[in-house]
Amino acid sequence: MISRILLEDVLAVAMSTGADFAEVYAEKTRNNGIRFLDGKIDTASDDMVSGVGIRAFIGTRTVYATTTDLSRSGLIRCARAVADALGESKASVSINLTERIFPNIHPVKIVPGSTPISTRTDILKEACFAAKERDEKIKQVMGNLSSVDHTILIANSEGLYTTDRHVRTRIAVSAVAVSPDGSDNQSGSASPGRGMGLEMFDFIDPKSIGIKAADQALVNLSADYCPAGQMTVAIENGFGGVIFHEACGHSLEATSVGTGTSQMCGKLGQQIANVKVTAIDDGTIPGAWGSVNIDDEGHPTQRNVLIENGILKSYMIDRLGSRRMGMAMTGNGRRESFMYEPTSRMTNTFIANGPDKNEDIIASIEYGLYAKSMGGGSVNPLTGEFNFGVSEGYIVRNGKICEPVRGASLVGTGSQILMDIDMVGQNLDTAQGMCGSSSGSVPTDVGQPLIRVSKITVGGR
Amino acid sequence: MSFNEIKDIIISACKKHGIEEYEVYYTVGEDISAETLKQEVSAFSSGESAKVYFRCLVDGHMGYASSSYFDADELEALVLRAADNAKVIENNDVVVIFKGSESYAKTTAPEPVAIEAAELKKCALDLQKATYAVDSAVVDGTQSIAMSFKNEMYLYNSHGLELSNRVGMSGCYVVSVVNKDGEARDNFEFAENIYSEDAKNLPAKAVKGALDKIGASEIPTGKYNVVIDGAQMRSLLSAFSSAFSAKNALLGMSRLAGKEGQKIAADIVTITDDPMREGCPVQTHFDDEGVATYKKTVVENGVLKTMLYDLTTAIKTGKETTGNGRRGGNIAPYNFGICAGGYTLDELFAKAGNGIYVTGVKGLHAGANPITGDFSVESEGFIIKDGKKAGPIKSFTIAGNFFNMLMEIDSLSNEVKWGIPGGFTVFGSPDVLVKDMSIAGK
């Protein structure tokens, strides 16, 4: 993408006013997208993202600059802007870059952008028509098949020069069900993705995605509003893991821990969750949605045990966080694109299987909510106050799953809910999300087995 | 590469490949920001970015492609990719490259000025120092940021239509973190224009907001009269604004489908969409299809006067476009806001009697369904007791259906609170009183 010799010069300029570290991140990304709407392929588009971000540190002071001008003069101008904004001293630095190749643990068989568009429209249509044909009450189906082919180059003043290529694919189907008299409509969705090419559909049948979206819309159409108040809640596997992502994960990122704005500051080694809770962030799972070979700072991803039997074991730490906290990097430095300075982010984060049988969890609830499918959520890491939406829920009565309810949300405080997860089941599964934070939107997996929360506020009416 | 160079390469590529109808939209911009922590400038960033968006008609279908990689071969490849993308489209919509409006209004925003890096750093640092000085409860983690951006947009199409626009703004925000009696709380406040009076008042406002949240209690689940702060009501309006898109209506994805001319809100509710609202720094006189934009009343005294249209939906329904076409075949508003009513905020509290004042809603992306109108969202706020604002409350949700709520708005305050522009779209609302809303608490 950019020659090693030129990068050495660019880094030397970035270091020329006293920086103790400098880094160049270059990116070339092809995003492809196809949209299905109203029974037909509606739009096909593609986008090429190309640009460079240069940053430099003095201690924990940082300067970051970006450009889309990849010429020698453009890159030197960008590095000069970084140096001028960072320091006033004069330093003559020479940089020697040594190329390093990290192992590729996510091989890709079928790069989506290299296939005929018709191959991809066929997959998307198969999924969408499966939703449409599920029931005559399904009146509208939207679908998207998107793929990202992301090549990055990272060079830094420690001599690292490396490149990586990462491909990911996702399909999203949403279905709208309308009541026979037309007075009510409800929606359902399913959106699996993988750090793979089109071979992801060897594992996931497109039809099953459409059917899942349609069935959720149909359940919601037959549901009444969820009652409001505090209750015991069983949260199902897969996207249910968003509860950990919001209630705890963000508060373990150096982004908030390193600036002293996390409820989890200073709690390493302490009991912060129920003993049944073990939580892991693992960026190395082959082909997973949140996996990458190296993070966006050139550090290999790793498996970080965050919480073990309720005890806080580790934070997720990027390079700047490592300086702020005096702790080692954990391979979590991520960003959406060159437009963003990297920061600590989750990869594939999940609660591990626990000791309880799933049927015992449901049987233990006298009256409560079974949240079968979750929507997204958000959190304030300082206070730990979080929320997330329930996209498919049922009332549990006398240990049995009963009628469906719609429109519920769950709110609470991270530190409290971690203690209140009092049963952890054994059907760990993950689901895909796009997580938004200061370094943009990045793909992350969330996951868990079925869990029971003894008491949480359910928003409804 | 300049816009003219890009345009010339694309024009010859289209000629070479027999593409007759097309449009080139190019944006180029600069942004800078300075950030402080612990009373020091901790981070500074500057960015230059440019992107070209190309679309073309092939056999009556529109194909799209975009790129930020500016080289002659890539630009030719861009044209071919868009043409390939057009070939798989199956819908029968009539799509056009626009010939141009008869006339275009002039934007009223001042010419954007570049703010020097040193000025931004000083602004951020001054805000930071002033924030720490407000109260001894202010602690590290408190952050202030000053930013500015400038963007230029150029549109050219095969009918010879050429349009351009320049926008820019500066702004600053403070996230104050306070710790009192062992309880940590934070609060975010934003001000447009780093030299404004609002910017000077940010530190005091940010700290007061955080301190006011200390010692919050929980309330019982039930039905309450609710005063929703304008800044929160505009977030709700934003979450459900896609219902005003004619495209969503045609697809059966809007509760407002087929309701033009009908009552959809209380008599006191009027909603306008203005691409050139006085005082808004980000304005445009043309939409992404090259159509002249104008101010329109979308809801008048509770009656839905018009949906928002682009060229395709206008042709499909026999209407005129409202100049709300956005890239990628989307439709979106500009300054979209509920007009002010006649009451002060204190009068709304008095009318509520006993109830809740909602000053924060979170998680709308998950807790609000734009198709059905249902929402159930995490909130923060204050008790209203005997017609007056009382102590803070936390960990509760408000729930309802947005479209039912529009019908049930009891009264509006006399000040519209506008949000931070996101592209050309900004939402605004006065404070609103809604009676008997569902609240989930302890």
Q: What is the ipTM of this complex?
A: 0.91
- Tens of pLDDT along B80-101? 999 999 999 998 899 999 999 9
- Using CB atoms within 10 A of its CB, is residue A274 exposed (0-12), middle (13-18) or buried (19+)? buried
Interchain CB distance below 8 Å, A68 and B48:
yes
State the amino acid at position A73 in one-letter form.
Answer: S
pLDDT of residue B329: 85
Is B326 near chain A, with CB under 8 Å?
no
Closest residue of chain A to B437, computed from CA coordinates: A461
Interchain CB distance below 8 Å, A66 and B47:
yes
pLDDT means over runs of 10, chain B (442 residues): 94 97 96 91 93 96 95 95 95 93 92 88 95 96 95 97 96 96 94 94 97 95 96 97 96 93 98 95 96 98 98 96 93 98 98 97 87 91 97 93 96 96 94 95 88
Nearest residue, CB atoms, B184 vs list A42, A69, A383: A383
Interchain CB distance below 8 Å, A461 and B399:
yes
Is B141 near chain A, with CB under 8 Å?
yes
pLDDT of residue B228: 98
Q: Is A16 a domain residue?
A: no
Q: How far is B441 from B380, CA to CA, in rounded Å?
A: 11
From chain A, the residues in CB contact with B441 under 8 A are 229, 457
Angle (nearest 5°) at CA A17 between A12 and A18: 90
DSSP-derived 3-state class of residue A200: helix
DSSP tag of A15: T
Beta carbons within 10 angstroms of residue A303's beta carbon: 14
Closest CA to A48 of A70, A71, A28, A68: A28
State the amino acid at position A173 in one-letter form.
Answer: V
- Tens of pLDDT along A24-62? 999 999 999 999 999 999 999 999 999 999 999 999 999
Q: Considering the entire predicted model, what is its pTM?
A: 0.92
Interchain CB distance below 8 Å, A230 and B442:
yes
Interface probe with B: pick from A231, A250, A343, A382, most Cβ of B within 10 Å: A382
CA distance B86 to chain A (A): 7
Closest residue of chain A to B375, computed from CA coordinates: A407
Q: How far is B111 from B100, CA to CA, in rounded Å?
A: 24
Q: Is A342 a domain residue?
A: yes
pLDDT of residue B240: 97
Q: Is A279 a domain residue?
A: yes
From chain A, the residues in CB contact with B186 under 8 A are 261, 380, 382-383
By residue range, what is the domain housing residue A323?
Answer: 229-459
Starting at the edge strand found earlier in the chain, the sheet holding A303-308 runs: A311-312, A303-308, A279-282, A348-351, A440-448, A429-437
pLDDT of residue A388: 86
From chain A, the residues in CB contact with B402 under 8 A are none
pLDDT of residue A325: 97
Q: Is A234 a domain residue?
A: yes
Nearest residue, CB atoms, A382 vs list B40, B186, B441: B186
Interface probe with B: pick from A30, A31, A34, A45, most Cβ of B within 10 Å: A45
Closest residue of chain B to A66, computed from CA coordinates: B47
Instruction: Tell me the residues of chain B between 86 and 125 that have a Cβ less than 8 Å away from chain A.
Output: 86-92, 117
Sole residue written with tokens 């009697």? B353
Tell me, rounded to whole angstroms, the distance of Cα A402 from its chain centroid.
32
Closest CA to A451 of A242, A209, A227, A176: A242
Nearest residue, CB atoms, B88 vs list A121, A142, A260: A121
pLDDT of residue A302: 97
> Beta partners for A301?
none
From chain B, the residues in CB contact with A389 under 8 A are 363, 366-367, 376
Full DSSP string of A259-279: TT--TTTT-TTSB-S-TT--E
Query: Would you say the C-alpha torsion A118, A120, A124, A127 has a positive or negative sign?
Result: positive
pLDDT of residue B260: 97
CA distance A314 to chain B (A): 21
Is B137 near chain A, with CB under 8 Å?
no
From chain B, the residues in CB contact with A459 under 8 A are 367, 376-378, 396-399, 440
Closest residue of chain A to B53, computed from CA coordinates: A47
Sole residue written with tokens 């006191």? B268
Helix axes A117-132, B72-87, angle to 10 degrees: 40
CA distance A191 to chain B (A): 15
Closest CA to A150 of A446, A447, A440: A440
From chain A, the residues in CB contact with B80 under 8 A are none
Closest residue of chain A to B374, computed from CA coordinates: A407
CA distance A436 to chain B (A): 11
Is B399 near chain A, with CB under 8 Å?
yes
Q: Is A401 a domain residue?
A: yes
Q: How far is B91 from A41, CA to CA, in rounded Å?
A: 6
CA distance A69 to chain B (A): 8
- Using CB atoms within 10 A of its CB, is residue B408 exposed (0-12), middle (13-18) or buried (19+)? middle
From chain A, the residues in CB contact with B43 under 8 A are 61-64, 341
- Using CB atoms within 10 A of its CB, is residue A89 exposed (0-12), middle (13-18) or buried (19+)? exposed
Nearest residue, CB atoms, B64 vs list A45, A64, A457: A45
Q: How far is A294 from B345, CA to CA, in rounded Å?
A: 53
Domains and CATH numbers, chain B: 3-212 (3.30.2290.10), 222-440 (no CATH)
Q: How many domains does chain A have?
A: 1
Q: How far is B61 from B317, CA to CA, in rounded Å?
A: 19
Helix count and strand count (H, E) for chain B: 10, 20
Closest CA to A131 of A175, A171, A191: A175
CA distance B226 to chain A (A): 14
pLDDT of residue A431: 96
% of chain A at pLDDT higher than 70 = 100
Instruction: Tell me the residues of chain B between 372 and 391 that have a Cβ less than 8 Å away from chain A.
Output: 372, 374-378
Closest residue of chain A to B28, computed from CA coordinates: A68
Beta carbons within 10 angstroms of residue B129's beta carbon: 13
**H helix intervals, A234-318:** 242-244, 254-257
Q: Which positions ≥6 away from B217 have C-beta within 8 Å?
A: B391, B392, B393, B394
Q: Is A96 a domain residue?
A: no
Q: Which positions ≥6 away from A459 have C-beta within 8 Å?
A: A226, A228, A387, A408, A409, A410, A411, B367, B376, B377, B378, B396, B397, B398, B399, B440
- Using CB atoms within 10 A of its CB, is residue B65 exposed (0-12), middle (13-18) or buried (19+)? buried
State the amino acid at position A163 in one-letter form.
Answer: T
pLDDT of residue B241: 97
From chain A, the residues in CB contact with B251 under 8 A are 37-38, 140
Nearest residue, CB atoms, B89 vs list A43, A48, A230: A43
Q: Is A182 a domain residue?
A: no
Chain length of chain A: 461
Closest CA to A380 of A263, A220, A291: A263
Interchain CB distance below 8 Å, A43 and B378:
no
* Under 8 Å between Cβ of B229 and B380: no
Nearest residue, CB atoms, B68 vs list A49, A186, A408: A49
The parts of chain A modelled with pLDDT lower than 50 are none
Is B268 near chain A, with CB under 8 Å?
no
- Tokens at residue B338, please? 């509920």
Q: Is A307 a domain residue?
A: yes
CA distance B278 to chain A (A): 31
